[in-house]
Structure 1
Amino acid sequence: MSASMPADEMVRLYQEESQKRHNKTVLEELEVGDMIEFPSDLFSHWGVYIGDEQIVHLTGDQPITSGSFSSVSGIDCDQAWVRIDKFLDVAKGRFAKKNNDKDSNQRAAGRYPRPSDDIVRTALAMKGEADYNVFFNNCEHFASYLRYGEKCSEQADTALTAVVVGGAAVIVGSLLGSLFNRKK
Structure 2
Amino acid sequence: MAATGTPEPGDLIEVFRPAYQHWALYLGDGYVINVTPVDEGPPARFASAKSVFSGKARVRMQLLKDVVGNDTYCVNNKHDNTYRPLPVEEIIRRAESFIDQEVSYDLLGSNCEHFVTLLRYGQAVSDQANKAITAIGFVTVAAGAFSLLGFLRSRSRERQY
TM-score w.r.t. the length of structure 1 is 0.79
- Work out the CA distance in 2 between the residues paired with 1:161 and 1:45: 20
Q: Distance in 1 between matches of 2:140 and 2:45?
A: 27
Q: Per residue, is there more strand in 1 or in 2?
A: 2
Out of 16, 21, 28, which is 1:44 matched to?
21
In 1: Cα distance, 2:46 partner to 2:57 partner: 12
2:45 alignment counterpart: 69
Distance 1:69 1:181 in 2: 48
Q: Secondary structure at the match of 1:133?
A: coil
Aligned pair partner of 1:158 in 131, 135, 145: 131
Asked whether the equivalents of residues 43 and 73 of structure 1 are also in contact (C-alpha less than 8 Å), the reply is no
Looking at structure 2, the residues matched to 146 and 73 of structure 1 have their Cα atoms a distance apart, in angstroms, of: 22
Higher helix residue share: 1
Q: Deviations over 1:32-66 (max 9, x none)?
A: 0000000123210001001121000112121234x
How far apart are the structure 1 equivalents of 2:29 and 2:67?
Answer: 14
**CA positional deviation for 1:77:** 2.8
In the alignment, the residues of structure 2 paired with residue 133 and residue 84 of structure 1 have an alpha-carbon distance, to the nearest angstrom, of 20
Alignment length, in residue pairs?
Answer: 154
Q: Percent identity?
A: 32
Pair 1:169-2:146 in alignment? no
* Separation (CA, whole Å) in 1 of partners of 2:37 and 2:80: 27
Q: Matched residue of 1:76: which SS?
A: helix
In the alignment, does 2:68 pair up with 1:91? yes
- 1:114 aligned onto 2:86: yes
The aligned counterpart of 1:32 is 9
Which position in structure 1 is the counterpart of 2:57?
Answer: 80
How many angstroms does 1:116 deviate by? 1.2
Greater shift in the superposed pair: 121-130 or 147-156: 121-130
| TM-score (structure 2 length as normaliser) | 0.89
Aligned amino acid, residue 130 of structure 1: V
Confirm or deny that 1:100 pairs with 2:77: yes
RMSD (Å), alpha carbons? 1.5
Task: Tell me what 1:109 maps to.
Answer: none
Q: Secondary structure at the match of 1:96?
A: strand
How far 1:70 sits from its partner (Å)? 2.1
By how many angstroms is 1:93 displaced?
1.6
> Is 2:105 the partner of 1:149?
no
**Structure 1 position 105, deviation (Å):** 2.3
